[in-house]
Structure 1
């Protein structure tokens, strides 16, 4: 069973990392759609560590950006849990997360996302190039979870650059 470390230090407001996501939609419904987002992660005060050295760290992830295409642009805001899965002594790590997402509009030309409230789930791989600079890729899926009769969903390739504090 993995060891669960309790709060090892008080939670503070300095993010663990911050950066930029650039996304391109890949499904047919989302063609011609793209997004950009400034984001930050705050490490939560728990860590699960396996005897092998693998660690799972929970984070609070927030993003502020835009989603656009087909002559229309929306502002976006998301906030939700994320997890990093780290092997011992490796610059590579996995990220998993889901965030409730607010949009300032939900129609883009002929694409109707249903409502302004969506969920964005993702899984990706990151590389700490240096102690502070990193690059990543993640697959994202955004949909309203059938809260609306229109729920086409949007799948995206997302590329990341980040700074680790």
Structure 2
């Protein structure tokens, strides 16, 4: 299964690296692509998540000149959840915001994603449905040229949409990021 995750990361990186850049500034652009993995934050069970991800900068933002900038973006990911010998597919997509300042290699990142999971029971914990919502907040640090690392805390739950139990899962995720030139 480890090779499948590595192959997924490679496909996401190759696929997004071949996409054309926008013709003019302000039309949006690919911001970064990468891989991340992590563990259940509550210590209940051994749930793990591994995924490839991409972020697309949207043309709308605040604070264009000199100071801090609030960016809008579209986020997407595909990967797997693993716990107690069970494996399942996860795919997410949704809007995000990031706060950054020119010349500072640190970015505050947050967002809300709609998620689909192929299995909804891990470690004896029933997530009650294949449709989930993921909210996240994290920090990304550009460390050398186009290479960055990141930390993300995310919460996944069914938002009580099905009227049944809504246990939710909190995760600590760590990222390796490849930034496209801005």
- Tell me the TM-score normalised to structure 1 length: 0.88
Give distance in 1, aligned partners of 2:109 and 2:140.
7
1:62 corresponds to which residue?
76
Structure 1, residues 89-129: CA drift from partner, whole Å, max 9, x if none? Answer: 20111001110000011112411000000001100111111
1:37-52, aligned counterparts within 5 Å? 37-49=51-63
Q: By how many angstroms is 1:84 displaced?
A: 1.2
What SS does the aligned partner of 2:161 have?
coil
Residue 144 (structure 2) aligned to one of 130, 136, 147: 130
Aligned: 1:10 with 2:24: no
Stretches of structure 1 that go unaligned for 5 or more consecutive residues are 1-6
1:93 corresponds to which residue?
107
Larger helix proportion of the pair: 2
What SS does the aligned partner of 1:146 have?
coil
Give distance in 1, aligned partners of 2:72 and 2:149.
19
2:39 corresponds to which residue?
24
Give distance in 2, aligned partners of 1:146 and 1:80.
19
Stretches of structure 2 that go unaligned for 5 or more consecutive residues are 1-23
Q: By how many angstroms is 1:47 displaced?
A: 1.8
- Tell me the TM-score normalised to structure 2 length: 0.80
1:114 corresponds to which residue?
128
Length, aligned pairs only: 156
Structure 1, residues 26-85: CA drift from partner, whole Å, max 9, x if none? Answer: 2144x2100100000011011211776000111100000001101211101100011110
2:13 corresponds to which residue?
none
Larger strand proportion of the pair: 1
